[in-house]
Amino acid sequence: MSKARLTRDRRSAQPSFTRVTRSSISSQDSAHSIIPQQGRPSDSVLLSDLSLMRVSEQQASLARKGKLSKNGSYISESSSDNIKHGLSTSSGSSVRASGRSAPRGALETVGRLMKLGRLRNVVVVAGAGISTASGIPDFRSPGTGLYANLEKYNVPYPEAVFNIDYFSDDPRPFFSLAKELYPGQHRPNYIHYFIRMLHQKGLLLRMYTQNIDGLEKMCGIPDEKLVEAHGSFATASCHLCYTPFPAEEAKEAIMSDDVPKCSFCSATVKPNVVFFGEDLPEKYFQHTQDFPKADLLMIMGTSLQIEPFASLVNTVKSTVPRLLLNRRAVGPFERKPLRRRDYVELGDLLHSVGKLAGILGWHTEIEDLMNSHENGTLPMLISSSPSSSGAIDPSCSSGEDSDSSEADSKSTESSILSNHRPLQSV
Ligand code: OAD
């Protein structure tokens, strides 16, 4: 078997991965402060600071300076790229540095390393939290998450709606939900465009998303830079014999409360969203090539509760910085003390990402990109080659990165089919 099965992490042995701690869900995000940065340290000071990074959870003392607009863009109260990086947020907490040099938070540290050109192969790992600003609920947030609001679908337990055995017996709950989930009703937000900007700067090695909302593609992240680990609605097939079925026909049937049937075996057809008990797509296995090459792992908006995806975060080298942007600490970031080079920025993602974009000096560019894309003045699909004009630092030349990363991407894709790791279901 060449694929991984989608499972809920139940802490059972999975030899292919290091297991992560299962999160306990906490509904409270406490308020914390970000320590203002003072002056620009040298590279060596910066690196020595990295070894001193620890989580700081201090009370916020300054008012939050950014807010979410109705269309999911980040609005800074200061001028676009002059977001005051050191300002505290009312809802966030941050890793801070201790020691002799000026203390700084997670975003400042990672942002500075990016500006120094030290982090050129960024792997993004994302979940439903990146799309809540687009008006799509996540799965597990108490009260607002999808799993807390499934009464009308009459399922025995929330995750049954995405369980392949349950679907086989009764596809109606999923089909009712699918009518609401089908892409087309929501737009990408600032966070999606930030990730696209990573690509345009030549810094995105790959984005691994668990989301099935299609917003990554919609904002223009090219196919070869994207792994939709839990599938998507873009294609459909028989859930028993996997015979492909036209996705539009499947959608039309589901939207009209019909059940699409396989032309080969007459079993029920479903969109190729990965259900519990199903295999992950082939493309997912690019992780065996990508993660060892990453020099920054950005983890955004996920509870890291679903395997095998959750364990991906443990497959980068221990020297590689991992930045968690989320409402609460999850997975290995719940551990204290954190691993060296682990950075955590707790709080609303839109705010954290807006702040990081400000540190990088990308804010105006992202806003412009977002506006022109949303107003239809940019083609929807962009070239997979990032532009060389957008590099933030000469040492971070996107042209150079682009060549090597595209070459890497091609060799990765050609070798991936012969390099699967056997994975097992729980
Ligand atoms: P979850 O709902 O489990 O986790 C979302 C995480 O994002 C939570 O930790 C939230 O606190 C955080 N979050 C939400 N909105 C946020 C915001 N605006 N700012 C910061 N943090 C925010 O969603 P996933 O981890 O994506 O599988 O769930 C993984 C998989 O479980 C999904 O792919 C789905 C589900 O069962 C399938 O559909 C097969």
Cα–Cα distance for residue pair 192/198, rounded to 1 Å: 10
| Residue 39, pLDDT score | 33
Cα–Cα distance for residue pair 369/177, rounded to 1 Å: 32
Cα–Cα distance for residue pair 386/145, rounded to 1 Å: 35
Cα–Cα distance for residue pair 331/350, rounded to 1 Å: 21
Residue 24 CA: distances (Å) to CA of 125, 129, 302: 20, 17, 13
| Residue 385, pLDDT score | 57
| Residue 33, pLDDT score | 22
Which has more pLDDT, 63 or 382? 382
**Parallel, antiparallel, or unpaired for β 231-238 and 66-68?**
unpaired
| First vs last C-alpha separation in the chain | 15
The residue nearest atom 25 of ligand 1, judged by CA position, is 302
Give the chain's mean pLDDT: 75
| Residue 70, pLDDT score | 46
Tell me: the pLDDT tens digits for 180-209? Answer: 999 999 999 999 999 999 999 999 999 999
| Residue 40, pLDDT score | 35
Please list the alpha-helical segments (H only) found in 314-362: 349-360
| Residue 74, pLDDT score | 53
Cα–Cα distance for residue pair 288/378, rounded to 1 Å: 34
Percent of the chain with pLDDT over 90: 62
**Parallel, antiparallel, or unpaired for β 122-126 and 296-300?**
parallel
Name the band, by pLDDT with cuts 50, 70 and 90, for residue 60. very low
DSSP string, 385-402: SPPSTT-SSGGG-HHHHH
Cα–Cα distance for residue pair 426/424, rounded to 1 Å: 7
Q: Which residue of the set 230, 239, 351, 373 is catalytic?
A: 230
Q: Which two structure tokens, joined as six digits, stand for 360?
A: 């990088």
**Ligand 1 mutation target, pool 140, 298, 307, most atoms within 8 A of CB:** 140
Q: Which two structure tokens, joined as six digits, stand for 167?
A: 């679907």
Tell me: the pLDDT tens digits for 84-113? Answer: 322 223 345 665 433 344 557 999 999 999
Please list the alpha-helical segments (H only) found in 101-246: 106-115, 164-169, 172-181, 190-200, 215-218
Ligand 1 centroid–CA 26 distance in Å is 13
Overall pTM surpassing 0.95 (yes/no): no
| Residue 401, pLDDT score | 36
pLDDT at residue 27 above 60? no
Ligand 1 centroid–CA 139 distance in Å is 5
Please give the number of the atom of ligand 1 that sits closest to the Cα of 275. Answer: 39
Tell me: the pLDDT tens digits for 207-263? Answer: 999 999 999 999 999 999 999 999 999 999 999 999 999 999 999 999 999 999 999
| Residue 104, pLDDT score | 74
Which DSSP state fits 347?
A: S
Residue 225 CA: distances (Å) to CA of 202, 203, 205, 213: 11, 11, 7, 17
Question: Pocket around ligand 1: residues whose beta carbon is below 6 Å from it?
Answer: 6, 127-129, 132-133, 138-141, 145, 159, 162, 210, 230, 274, 301-303, 305-306, 326-328, 330, 348-349
Asked if 95 contacts 338 with a C-beta cutoff of 8 angstroms, the reply is yes
Tell me: the pLDDT tens digits for 41-51? Answer: 333 433 333 33
Name residues whose C-beta falls within 8 Å of residue 59's C-beta, 6 or more positions apart in sequence: 31, 32, 33
Residue 230 known to be catalytic = yes
Cα-Cα-Cα-Cα torsion 267, 272, 277, 280, nearest 10 degrees, comes to: 140
| Residue 374, pLDDT score | 85
Say which range, 69-78, 267-276, 393-402, has the weakest mean pLDDT: 393-402
Tell me: the pLDDT tens digits for 263-311? Answer: 999 999 999 999 999 999 999 999 999 999 999 999 999 999 999 999 9
